A and B are shown apart, each in its own frame.
Chain A
């Protein structure tokens, strides 16, 4: 399987990893989840249509993220600083101030909470548009949906996201967030 799976891996590993994390896989489990995606893909290479590799991988990732979210809800909470460091932890500011780290972790936990509250259909569209930076046309291709469906899901996802953020603002009193 060397050549094909290697190409798939090199072209899409980062995308799969990011998607897994953003779709709700806990930080400490993302490496495993991304690996699982490619192990599954390696078994199903003959079924992956040319040009649909990314759609296939994202579909598997979404499914695995959904399973991981359910498993995570039954698992003792792992602190963010227990998680293995991602590349950015090394690449960014080598010594961020403790309050910056705490703030970033809090923001990330809140984002996970908000995105996690979205229905899976909406979550995928939201993540691909707002975080992955895809166009609606690209999202339609990855999710194999009509563009109109993508647009309506995105609109609904954004409404819910904004509503949830407002609730967090009220709950946590973060009026002064920069």
Chain B
């Protein structure tokens, strides 16, 4: 199998999906990296469940303020234009359809766009956090993840075996080998990572992939 992309390249590809002026929520993990790779000249406003809109870079060592964090508990720098609010208002923004794009990680995504990202059954307990609200409320949900799990099993499946976060909520899947669109007709392979063929991507994908007529190579 050809080489896979690293987490930064996945994040870089996702960053291209954020439109100018969008209000964006980035989940924990690979999604957090996306803000570093926004194309030059593009402005988006980040929302976090911790109760802040319009945050900028992470704080460096010695700059931490315990009252200025994102949803992952990372410390933020004060940024002109940022706004604070309580959690009911923060989630009114989410459910009310005011968040244009949510980028989340996933354990599994189904061919219908079902998302499973809050609980591994073996652990017996999980964290939902803001994921179910974002799955239900964000206008567009993009999943950023590795194509297979640590055991090498496909994460893009016919039906999620893990408890789901939201049914039919995922619009686009960006992985370390492909970009896949989810539509009522199923999954369409839009892009492959450099060196990968559609057949090789299908071999590590449980769900069926239709290949786009204008299949492209992922670019950064």
Q: Do A and B bind each other?
A: no
Residues of chain B at the chain A interface (Cβ within 8 Å) = none
Residues of chain A at the chain B interface (Cβ within 8 Å) = none
